[in-house]
Structure 1
Amino acid sequence: MIRQLFLTSTATALLMGAAAAADLPRREPPPIFTPVPVFTWTGFYAGFNAGYAFDASSRSNAATIVNLPAGSPLVVGPLAPSQVVFGGRQSLDGFSGGGQIGYNYQFTPGSGFVIGFEADAQYVDFGRNRNRFLLTPDFAPAANIAFANPVGLAGLDFFGTVRGRLGYAWDRTLFYGTGGFAYGSGGGREFGLPNNSTDDFRTGWTAGGGLEYALSSDSWLNFFRSSAVTVKVEGLYVNLERNNRNNGLFAFNAATGATFLAPGFIARNNPIEFAVVRAGVNYKFGTY
């Protein structure tokens, strides 16, 4: 009897212990830690930009006046002296837009120094007002005669740069300086000037700086499924040498090709100087 009671008590205790153990929380394995990727600017990129360019020279904007003697074959009107007056604006202002490609290398992902290079090609709308002039009242240009500003104000169809970049990044924000080689061409044929063409190639240098910020790869701007999309604001100063072969020319005959030099004007080789302020978007390819 005693043995039967002992066995019954033991069985009951074991059943109660099992039930209590079932009520205890189960031990789960610790969650797997997945580190958040640290952004780096290292990688190739390509993009486009648009902005505005304007004159950055220190030259005087005074009007240019050419005096014509009485009976000049360049004009028709009374037999009296006359004048051709050209505006003093440099005409270096207008829309600028184009594209760029480049590569960055960041020494320490997250925050740190960034070096790189960039090349761009830009359309530019310069020289629209170059040849605006006024004649003495009651005078008009003679047949086939066209006038051109004798100081040789510049015009460009396009320009481009090849630059180095050096900056410092705080995670997705990059401040940088940039500088290097610049080139440009154009601004002749549309004015009808003889011995000039839109292939008048010029070279020089450029310097500037900017601010760039990286968006996430799932940004609505990421049309090309790149690893990141960056937006930037940039300013550049551009200095190009200028061919001086038409400086001093103020009139020509479109039918015969005859040219006329303005008295007292000599050929000068003033550089083309302008600044560009632009915004752009880049698509970065490579590491996160």
Structure 2
Amino acid sequence: MKKFLIAGAALVALTGAASAADLTYEPAPAAPAPAAASAFDWNGFYVGVHGGAAIGDFTKDFSDNGSTGGLFGAQAGYNYQIDHWVIGVETDIAYSTLSDVVDLDWLGTTTARAGYAFDNLLLYGKGGVAYGDLKYADQSNWSVGWTAGAGVEYGFTKNITGRLEYDYVSLPSKDFGGLETGLNTNNITVGLNYKF
């Protein structure tokens, strides 16, 4: 009988200890999942080519004559990605066939870009300096103005991206022997980039 009492007391003591352990143990709360970053890597240098159309108005002494021409050029830039946000700089130069009384032979820009990446799809805006070579008769003047635009870029592979872009360019008036003209253009281009 004494053995049964000792065994019962031991069993009660063990059960109580286990219950106390259950009461004091609390599992650690699960850590919140980190925000998923864009899987496509937009970081790095890139070079590419582009082409499209320029719809322009030559201003001042030429009474806003409208004209349409082509743009064919190259670009180079650098992107830096922070989570989904992508910032960068780009410069480009293009041969132009935009022509009226005055011709636009060359058009270039140097801009800052900022955008948001949905994995391999990038929506961005840009703005900066524009410069163009305006020609009238045998005279040539480089005009420096500004540009602003927006675009969408898509990563086909880790190195090849394609884009569609709109840019507004404003070049101030230059003097051509007593005649003055500037240029405002709306440009729509498509391009391909190789990302290093």
Does the alignment pair 1:176 with 2:115? no
Going from structure 1 to structure 2, the CA distance change for 1:247 and 1:92 (only over 3 Å counts) comes to farther
**3-state DSSP class of the match of 2:173?**
coil
Aligned partners of 1:92 and 1:274 also within 8 Å: no
State the alpha-carbon separation in 2 of the partners of residues 126 and 187 from structure 1: 11
* Offset of residue 40 of structure 1: 1.3
* Counterpart for residue 114 of structure 2: 166
What amino acid maps onto 1:272 in structure 2? L
State the alpha-carbon separation in 2 of the partners of residues 89 and 169 from structure 1: 39
What amino acid maps onto 1:102 in structure 2? G
Q: 1:95 aligns with which of 70, 81, 88?
A: 70
State the alpha-carbon separation in 2 of the partners of residues 89 and 272 from structure 1: 9
Unaligned runs of 5+ in 1: 1-36, 65-87, 131-153, 218-227, 249-268
Bigger helix share: 2
Greater Rg by CA = 1
* Counterpart for residue 122 of structure 1: 94
Q: Once superposed, which parts of structure 1, at least 4 consecutive aligned residues long, lie more than 6 Å away?
A: none
What amino acid maps onto 2:152 in structure 1? L
Aligned partners of 1:92 and 1:155 also within 8 Å: no
Aligned partners of 2:55 and 2:67 also within 8 Å: yes
State the alpha-carbon separation in 2 of the partners of residues 180 and 125 from structure 1: 23
Aligned partners of 1:121 and 1:160 also within 8 Å: yes
Aligned partners of 2:56 and 2:98 also within 8 Å: no
Unaligned runs of 5+ in 2: 1-37
Normalising by the residue count of structure 2, what TM-score does the alignment of the two structures yield? Answer: 0.73
* Offset of residue 173 of structure 1: 0.3
**3-state DSSP class of the match of 2:176?**
coil
Give the RMSD, CA atoms, in angstroms.
Answer: 2.2
State the alpha-carbon separation in 2 of the partners of residues 186 and 241 from structure 1: 11
State the alpha-carbon separation in 1 of the partners of residues 116 and 134 from structure 2: 37
Normalising by the residue count of structure 1, what TM-score does the alignment of the two structures yield? Answer: 0.51
Bigger strand share: 2
Aligned length: 158
- Identity among equivalent positions (%) equals 37
* Counterpart for residue 85 of structure 1: none
1:204-223 equivalences under 5 Å are 204-217=145-158
* Counterpart for residue 190 of structure 2: 279
State the alpha-carbon separation in 1 of the partners of residues 166 and 54 from structure 2: 10
Q: Give a deviation string over 1:102-143, Cα, whole Å, max 9, x none.
A: 0001101xxx1110000000100122x42xxxxxxxxxxxxx
**3-state DSSP class of the match of 1:39?**
coil
